[in-house]
Amino acid sequence: MSIEKFFNPSSVAIIGASHTQGKIGYIILENFVKGNYKGRVYPVNPDVTPILGREVFPSIKKIQDRVDLAVIAIPAEKVPKVLRECVEKKIKAVIIVSGGFSETGEKGRKLEEELKKIIKNSETRVIGTNSLGVLNTSTNVDTLFNPREKSSRPPPGSIGFISQSGAIGATILDWLAEEQTGISKFISYENAVDVNECDALEYFGNDEKTKVIALYFEGVKDGKRFIEVARKVSKKTPIIALKGGKTEAGKKAAISHTATIAGSAKVYSSVFKQTGIIEADNWEELFDFAKAFLQPLPKGRRIAIVTDGGGFGVLAADECEKQGLELPEPSGKLKKMFRKSFPEYAILSNPIDLTGNANAEMYRTALEECLKSKEFDAAIAITLFQVPALGEELIDVIADLKKYGKPILCCATGGKFTIRLARALEKNGIPVYVSPERAVKAMSVLVKYSNWIKK
């Protein structure tokens, strides 16, 4: 059964909705009531004093209406009874936020087994236990219960984010919000009583709003299904994966963390290759790579680098060679054109170095001629905004170049002024990286995926 109702419910019941501000059951209800969610919301609590001005129901059974999604935030030992009621009410989606299950030892593990039995052969699907749940930036379904002032939500976007770990999820969402990198949907499946990475991959793979999937996981329980699903999904939607527990020390930690047998790095690397999954070495790469896919795929590996700082050009060139990307010299024809527009001391090889006197018009000429020509498949623009003549006007210039259908990635490093312009570029769909190496690596991933797709 699809997990659609988790993300697009017409009605939501918060079981364990709290009267006390700051409590988990209060925060989750608040997300729905104050967060622009358009469906119906039913707080459930034996104490039926209204919360946030809403009628409170003593139990889920007392709600006459159909409920699409139930969020359970009550002590672990009370969960089985309530879950049974959800099954009876034919609720399709249940998120169990409550902790105190398999992550705490034998007693919790048994309790979890009971939950599995309860939903067996039912229409009810469960995310959790011990889960942060889901975030859908387009419907404002949001079950995240960390205090908002410490933990922000990213804007709507095209990256689908799947995390086995809620802590990693919340932490990175907060970081993405600061970076203003957009997310389509987020899911944290934690103890995975039912819904797991495969369900999430399958659903995100068919989701129109999701153009690329970022996955953090420590291990899978059903390797065969994982390979099947990943192979199918990644043909349409690129999957970037960060795998925790690749070493002995990491595996040991993963067993403590999510009771996952992490499996060897080699096995996973081979699975990734077979399925077209792109492996990230750390979470910064996970999103460096993911946001690169907001750009079209390159048809080849011939990259034009345009820079206003020679040193960053050198570092980018180094990384291109490491990553197997080509930096062809511009043809005589192109150079002639550049010679007319650029000062004498501009360097017309590749990287094209416009020097510290660069302005937006020079960037336009350099990038446009390269992208228009048949000599290059993609461009990396290193735009160090500290130089005197470069500013705001570069945003439109670069955004306009999207019309050539070739990928453009930017590199910009600096303080407030740079950050503001980098965000503006990203708002226009141009991914920006703080180091030339990160931009080049992201480009190489586009090239690799593009090759994989062709095969």
Q: List the interface residues with a second copy, window 139-198 (CB under 8 A).
A: 146-147, 149-152, 163-168, 170-172, 174-175, 177-178
Draw the binding track, 228-257, toward a second copy (x: CB under 8 A; -: no contact): --------------x-xxxxxxx-xxx-xx
Residue 454's CB is within 10 A of a number of other CB atoms, namely 8
- Single out the residue of 54, 418, 423, 429 in contact with a second copy (rule: CB under 8 A): 418
CB of 22 to a second copy, least distance (A): 8
* DSSP assignment letter at 277: P
When the beta carbons of 102 and 237 are compared against a second copy, the nearer one is 102
When the beta carbons of 404 and 419 are compared against a second copy, the nearer one is 419
When the beta carbons of 298 and 309 are compared against a second copy, the nearer one is 309
437 binds a second copy (CB under 8 A): yes
Q: How far apart are CA 317 and CA 328, in angstroms?
A: 11
The strand pair at 141-142 and 133-136 is best described as antiparallel
121 binds a second copy (CB under 8 A): no
The DSSP secondary structure of 24-89, one letter per residue, reads HHHHHHHHHHHTT--SEEEEE-SS-S-BTTB--BSSGGG--S--SEEEE-S-GGGHHHHHHHHHHT
CB of 120 to a second copy, least distance (A): 27
CB of 451 to a second copy, least distance (A): 20
CB of 390 to a second copy, least distance (A): 8
Cα–Cα separations (whole angstroms), residue 345 to 327, 338, 370: 20, 12, 19
CB of 235 to a second copy, least distance (A): 28
Cα–Cα separations (whole angstroms), residue 225 to 113, 188, 252, 412: 22, 19, 24, 41
- Residue among 440, 137, 161, 395 at smallest CA distance from 283: 161
CB of 65 to a second copy, least distance (A): 32
Stretch that binds a second copy, among 10-18, 100-108, 191-199, 231-239 (CB under 8 A): 100-108
In the window 39-58, what residues touch a second copy (CB under 8 A)? none
Q: What is the dihedral of CA 26, 210, 323, 405, to 10 degrees?
A: -140
Q: Where are the alpha helices (DSSP H) in 69-222?
A: 79-88, 106-119, 166-179, 197-205
Stretch that binds a second copy, among 51-59, 85-93, 197-205, 378-386 (CB under 8 A): 378-386
- Which residues are paired to 42 by β-bridges? 13
Stretch that binds a second copy, among 4-12, 44-52, 191-199, 307-315 (CB under 8 A): 307-315
Stretch that binds a second copy, among 202-210, 267-275, 401-409, 415-423 (CB under 8 A): 415-423
Draw the binding track, 20-39, toward a second copy (x: CB under 8 A; -: no contact): --x-----------------
Cα–Cα separations (whole angstroms), residue 378 to 289, 296, 297, 365, 369: 16, 10, 9, 15, 12
Q: Binding-site residue total for a second copy (CB under 8 A)?
A: 86
When the beta carbons of 58 and 324 are compared against a second copy, the nearer one is 324
In the window 271-300, what residues touch a second copy (CB under 8 A)? 281-284
- Single out the residue of 46, 53, 332, 388 in contact with a second copy (rule: CB under 8 A): 388
Question: Containing H/E element for 314?
Answer: helix 310-322
320 binds a second copy (CB under 8 A): yes
Q: How far apart are CA 228 and CA 209, in angstroms?
A: 22
Residue pair 100/90 in contact by the 8 Å Cβ criterion: no
